[in-house]
């Protein structure tokens, strides 16, 4: 911007950074000075308006970005932001309609039948008997893996742990996914799964663990908040025998609605259709329940954490072998930039407004309810 003042994409990028730092007015002002009101600029300005309580202004800014001439990826982002602004105003039908439009513009599809069959193979491959025959890595490191469905409280738990002086949060790392994909490439649905466990050798485990630790470990403990690592808990425990697993769980309907209402572009597109999302959720529960019988997992319920932050934080730290530190209750004072859809939440003290969110959307969520009930 110093070289090319008002450059639209540079303005939008700086605006996003300022929003993640908790400076929405500065983000709005930077983007307002842009030479062109490109969709990327308008979306950042609208997000700033959401944070500033100016939803009507944000909606007006977004409407030109919904034109058919706008590239689908930008239109999709604009629809998702429209939904957030409508929800802020209590316009739940309009919010849901906007998210439906945003999801429909996804260039990818997700086959729930293929995924369910892959999960069946995963659970068979990682039976207790099969695990006993697999090699174990020699790493003594004890990274903390925070797993669960997206939008289940993983960012909040990560920020609480990062406030502890002995913990360094590394965000959502792709290392485990890349390792699994290298061992068994060609996974459908862009979802690597290790079902051919004979490929997991001691040298491979040690090489992976050594590279992982040397790249990321900056404190006594580190966290990896890649939520879909729940699919790789077997691999994680073989590579890191001392790993700690924290599983974040939230009301199923609230979790799935939050996924549907969020552009989770880095993840496989299992959130774009409510029925598919419900089926993915039930497969996730099957995986967690399977590995919960075979390894220690610390479960953190979002609703319990919100209801009694002090008690749940103490329980979490104790389960992880971390001493108490008052800073964990003041996680929102951190200046760390959180690059997730929850970056606004982790800059605020704990609040209750996300509990029961799904109830506001009534019959619109019936396909999701039916998918969850059909497979419960």
Residue 347: the pLDDT is: 54
> Which of 104, 128, 162 marks a domain boundary?
104
**Dihedral angle, C-alpha 92, 94, 99, 104, nearest 10 °:** 140
| Alpha carbon distance 94, 102 (integer Å) | 12
Residue 334: the pLDDT is: 74
Same-domain status, 288 and 140: yes
Residue positions counted in the chain: 376
Segments forming the whole domain that contains residue 12: 8-104
By the 8 A CB rule, do 337 and 170 touch? no
By the 8 A CB rule, do 146 and 169 touch? no
Same-domain status, 141 and 86: no
> Which of 59, 76, 104 marks a domain boundary?
104
**SS3 annotation, 5-33:** CCCHHHHHHHHHHHHHCCCHHHHHHHHHC
Q: Does residue 320 or residue 217 have the better pLDDT? A: 320
Does some domain include residue 170? yes
Which pair of structure tokens corresponds to residue 237? Answer: 């425990």
Does some domain include residue 306? yes
Does some domain include residue 285? yes
Give the residue from 84, 80, 55, 51 showing the smallest Cα distance to 65.
Answer: 80
Whichever domain contains 69, its CATH number is 1.25.40.10
Does some domain include residue 147? yes
Does some domain include residue 173? yes
3-state secondary structure (DSSP) of residue 313: helix
Same-domain status, 222 and 82: no
Same-domain status, 222 and 263: yes
Which pair of structure tokens corresponds to residue 86? Answer: 């409508």
By the 8 A CB rule, do 271 and 257 touch? no
Percent of the chain past pLDDT 90, that is, above it, reads 84
Give the chain's radius of gyration (CA, Å).
Answer: 21
DSSP tag of 320: T
| Alpha carbon distance 306, 360 (integer Å) | 20
Whichever domain contains 162, its CATH number is 3.40.50.300
Same-domain status, 251 and 326: yes
| Alpha carbon distance 314, 207 (integer Å) | 35
Residue 364: the pLDDT is: 98
Same-domain status, 95 and 147: no
pLDDT tens string 137-191: 998 999 999 999 999 999 999 999 999 999 999 999 999 999 999 999 988 888 9
220 confidence band (pLDDT: 50, 70, 90): confident
Looking at 65-173, which runs of residues are DSSP E strands?
A: 144-148, 167-169
The mean pLDDT value of the chain amounts to 93
pLDDT at 346 over 80: no
Same-domain status, 237 and 155: yes
Residue 340: the pLDDT is: 57
Same-domain status, 366 and 342: yes
pLDDT at 102 over 80: yes
6 confidence band (pLDDT: 50, 70, 90): confident
pLDDT tens string 321-341: 999 999 999 998 876 666 555
Does some domain include residue 70? yes
Residue 58: the pLDDT is: 98
Same-domain status, 130 and 234: yes
Same-domain status, 185 and 163: yes
* 171 Cβ contact list (under 8 Å, min separation 6): 158, 225, 338, 339, 340
Same-domain status, 203 and 350: yes
| Alpha carbon distance 56, 166 (integer Å) | 44
Residue 336: the pLDDT is: 62
Does some domain include residue 122? yes
Tokens 């039930």, located at residue: 282
Which pair of structure tokens corresponds to residue 81? Answer: 């932001």
Angle at 165 between CA 169 and CA 217, to 5 degrees: 45
The whole-number average pLDDT for the span 42-70 is 97
- Least confident residue range of 4-18, 185-199, 343-357: 343-357
Same-domain status, 96 and 183: no
Residue 339: the pLDDT is: 58
Q: What is the domain count for the chain?
A: 2
Does some domain include residue 1? no
Handedness of CA 271, 277, 280, 284 (dihedral sign): positive
The whole-number average pLDDT for the span 215-228 is 89
> Which of 74, 104, 134 marks a domain boundary?
104
- Least confident residue range of 19-23, 182-186, 347-351: 347-351
């Amino acid at each position: 911007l110093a070289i090319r003042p008002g450059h639209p994409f540079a303005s939008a990028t700086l605006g996003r950074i300022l929003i993640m730092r908790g400076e929405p007015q500065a983000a709005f002002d930077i983007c307002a000075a842009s030479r062109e009101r490109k969709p990327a600029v308008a979306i950042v300005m609208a997000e700033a308006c959401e944070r500033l309580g100016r939803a009507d202004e944000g909606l007006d800014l977004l409407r030109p970005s919904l034109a058919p001439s706008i590239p689908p990826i930008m239109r999709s982002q604009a629809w998702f932001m429209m939904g957030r602004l409508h929800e802020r105003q209590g316009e739940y039908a309009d919010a849901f309609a906007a998210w439906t439009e945003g999801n429909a513009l996804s260039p990818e599809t997700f086959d729930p039948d293929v995924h369910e069959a892959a999960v069946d193979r995963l659970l068979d491959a990682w039976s207790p008997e099969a695990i006993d025959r697999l090699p174990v890595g020699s790493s003594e490191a004890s990274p903390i893996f925070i797993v669960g469905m997206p939008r289940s409280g993983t960012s909040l738990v990560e920020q609480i742990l990062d406030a502890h002086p002995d913990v360094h949060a590394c965000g959502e790392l792709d290392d485990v996914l890349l390792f699994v994909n290298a061992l068994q490439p060609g996974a459908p649905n862009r979802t690597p799964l290790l079902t051919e466990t004979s490929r997991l050798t001691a040298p491979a485990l040690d090489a992976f663990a050594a590279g992982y630790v040397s790249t990321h470990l900056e404190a006594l403990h580190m966290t990896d908040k890649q939520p879909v690592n729940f699919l790789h808990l077997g691999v994680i425990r073989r590579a890191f025998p001392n790993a700690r697993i924290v599983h974040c769980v939230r009301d199923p309907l609230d979790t799935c609605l939050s996924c549907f209402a969020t552009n989770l572009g880095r993840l496989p597109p299992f959130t774009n259709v409510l029925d598919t999302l419900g089926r993915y959720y039930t497969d996730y529960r099957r995986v967690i329940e399977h590995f919960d019988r075979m390894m220690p997992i610390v479960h953190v319920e979002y609703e319990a954490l919100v209801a009694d932050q002090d008690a749940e934080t103490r329980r979490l730290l104790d389960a992880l072998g971390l001493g108490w530190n008052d800073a964990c209750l003041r996680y929102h004072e951190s200046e760390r930039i959180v690059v997730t859809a929850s970056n606004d939440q982790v800059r605020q003290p704990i609040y209750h407004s996300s509990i029961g969110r799904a109830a506001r959307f009534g019959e619109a969520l019936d396909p999701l309810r039916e998918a969850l009930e059909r497979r419960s």
